[in-house]
Amino acid sequence: MRRALAGLTTRGRSFVAAGATAILCAFVLGERDLLRAGVLVLALPLICTWVVSRTRYRLACARRLDPPRLPVGHESRAELRLENVSRLPSGLLMVEDRVPFALGGRPRFVIDRIEPRGSRELAYRIRSDVRGRFRVGPLTVRLADPFGMVELVRSFSLTDTLTVTPAIVPLPSGRLAGAWAGGGESLARTVSTAGEDDVAPREYRHGDDLRRVHWRSTARRGELMVRREEQHWQSRGTLFMDTRGLAHRGEGPGATFEQAVSATASVGVHLGRMGMALRLVTDGGERLAPTADYAGEFEGLLLDTLAVARPGDGTSLDAGLAALIGGSGRDGDGLVVAVFGRLTADEARAVASVRRGTAACVAVLVDPEAAAASADPRVPSPRRSAEVSYGASAGRSGEVSSGASAGSSGDGSSGAASGRSGGGFSGASVPGSGDGSSDGSSRRSPVPGEVAGVGAARVLRAAGWRVVTVRTATELAAAWGVVAEPDGSDIGHLRGDGGGGAA
């Protein structure tokens, strides 16, 4: 009863005050008619309070989010099912589902009556422009009397989680040259095509097909041996993301940290769906280890992890680089894709030392100032902000600016980078010189206002890294098309072998 009295609405409190005042005035003035009216006005909200407090509704609630994980800027549909499991019909109900402020206003529904054993289907849409993990619910039901005197609030305990992942930029298909150096038993133990004598058998295991029994090896070994199934190349790679707050600038969706998160998610989803075993490393150490289901399980874990990623207070990359070396540098191969914000020259040298042997290393620098300073003003390109560079093993570098067109000579022939210098790359054109020819040893003229990110890119290129400098994650798609050739072959065209050609 006390809880019901606490649920009196403004109208109910007004009736109680008016009835009490009328009764008091009736005693003072000696008016019996006024006393009867005051008792009636006071009794009405009290009777409604007693009726509502004695109401024993038994309601069941179920909620479903479709989908429970979605990218930033997309909508999810929330479906509610409210069922009356009691033998009495319900009265007027106002249903409200609690959602965080980032997902919009709280949806409210008014249900007039639910018959015994009946149910009602409700639905609404939610949308978020910021990534994160949000709790949807619990559902609250407000019970009210027909006169609007009393209103009681009852809540369910059921809640659901909506995960808003970073925006994913579709990347062009094609494999990074030099990235598909796999590990495991599949490389050296594939079925040989030279003849049956070179087959690599193994011991028989329960469930193996008897048609795969290799009788010659069985006779030689004295135990049942079977031919190995043809194995496929297994590739591994590492995603590295710099989450230090000091390396990023801005706030909100346009901040460099948000763009770096989106770039990391785009690369991870792209490589994972191509069958690569990936792991995630940040400046604080390893966050995710490779999983058995590369295209499904790791993708979900990666998106869930990046959905709640926040800038850290760290100032050093040492812990992350140590984890990076410990994982990808075991055999000196494998792919490394590192996403950074603003890098100093000293930090770039530390990152450059991670590359071992023939490992393919790609650095994505999300730095608007560096991207603007890296663009050559002589090349009128609308995509001047996306620069793709490939390091040379001899310490020199070649770079390709996405969107750059080949320079033309005076007679209309386009200049091509000299193959003798080793600075030319297939699928990319470079601006010609004044006489219409382009030499691989020519270098880009310095651009005023260069920032630290440009110097970091040069350090990484000199160590053999491939460098992509972008302003936003959406520019990564154009640059990735130059990094990865469609067929993933002919690595010589993607690496300078001694020349210093520059666009």
Same domain? 112 vs 38: no
Same domain? 213 vs 323: no
Same domain? 485 vs 433: yes
The pLDDT of residue 423 is 35
Instruction: Tell me how many domains the chain contains.
Output: 4
Q: Model pTM? A: 0.67
Same domain? 276 vs 326: yes
Same domain? 253 vs 402: yes
pLDDT digits (tens, 9 = 90+) for 33-66: 999 999 999 999 888 888 877 776 788 899 999 9
Q: Residue 57's beta-bridge partner residues?
A: none
Same domain? 222 vs 312: no
Does residue 387 sit within a domain?
A: yes
Q: Specify whether the CB–CB gap between 430 and 407 falls below 8 A.
A: yes
DSSP state of 274: T
Same domain? 362 vs 474: yes
**CATH number, position 74:** 2.60.40.10
Does residue 307 sit within a domain?
A: yes
Distances (CA, A) of 407 to 381, 425, 432: 12, 15, 4
Per the document, the length of the chain is 503
Same domain? 343 vs 384: yes
Give the chain's residues under pLDDT 70: 1-5, 56, 174-199, 229-234, 292-295, 327-333, 370-453, 484-503
Does residue 320 sit within a domain?
A: yes
Does residue 483 sit within a domain?
A: yes
Range of the domain at 25: 2-53
Does residue 179 sit within a domain?
A: no
The CB-side HSE value for 195 (13 A sphere, CA atoms) comes to: 2
Same domain? 426 vs 488: yes
Same domain? 330 vs 406: yes
Q: Specify whether the CB–CB gap between 90 and 119 falls below 8 A.
A: no
Same domain? 40 vs 78: no
Percent of the chain that is helix, strand, coil (3-state, to 5): 30, 25, 45
Does residue 173 sit within a domain?
A: no
The pLDDT of residue 326 is 75
The pLDDT of residue 348 is 93
Same domain? 349 vs 441: yes
The pLDDT of residue 117 is 87
Q: Specify whether the CB–CB gap between 84 and 118 falls below 8 A.
A: yes
Q: What percent of the chain clears pLDDT 70, i.e. is strictly above it?
A: 69
Q: Specify whether the CB–CB gap between 335 and 362 falls below 8 A.
A: yes
